[in-house]
Amino acid sequence: MSYIENFQERQRRIFGQLTSNMIKRKTAIRKPAPPGRRAFIAPWRLSYILSPKDQSCFFCEAACARNDETTFKKLLLLHRGPFGMVIMNRYPYTGGHLLIAPLRHTANLPALTTEESSYLWEFSRKSVDIIAKTMQAQGYNLGMNLGRAAGTGVEQHLHMHALPRWHGDTNFMHIVADTSTIPVCLEELWNRMRPLFQ
């Protein structure tokens, strides 16, 4: 008997024993359940979900904060200019999720000034470049959610999202294929990104 035939015979015996034991216990062999929707696991977001939601705007807090490195690090603020700011998302789905926003508290995209619009676009481009240099991402998401129906978390202060992406990370494949996320320490990432924004 060849090695393969021997292996196949052992498999048949084992399967036969398992089947016999299951029948004795009056249980049936069940086909595995078809893959269903799996939960997205992002445990670091729990503190955000459970925390009381105050009505203040963290973008406005960052816009008015003291201009020193300790304050910037506490707020995860990477850059603040005369017309806008870049801040790290404190509760990201993927590490390196940056938010680019005007300094002015507004949800009205068409009403942005030319300077605010220019800042948003230029620092969105710069954010993607810095994410590439620090995170070695395989792709990027760049976009806005305008209005509660679109999924925005901060409805009254518009902002652009810039996210690094990797094959099989937290995109829809995570939910469908049970792919895991890679956690990143926000403070360490701030330390690497901050000098590139200065």
Strands across the sheet with 139-144, in order?
Answer: 77-80, 84-88, 98-102, 160-165, 139-144
* CA gap 133, 122 in Å, rounded: 17
Sequence-distant (≥ 6) Cβ neighbours of residue 47 within 8 angstroms: 91
CA distances from 39 to 32, 94, 163, 175, 176 (A): 18, 16, 21, 6, 9
Contact predicate 162/79, CB 8 Å:
no
* CA gap 63, 77 in Å, rounded: 9
The 3-class secondary structure across 38-84, one letter per residue, is: CCCCCHHHHHHHHCCCCCCCHHHHHHHCCCCHHHHHHHCEEEECCCE
* CA gap 3, 177 in Å, rounded: 35
Write out the catalytic residue numbers: 159
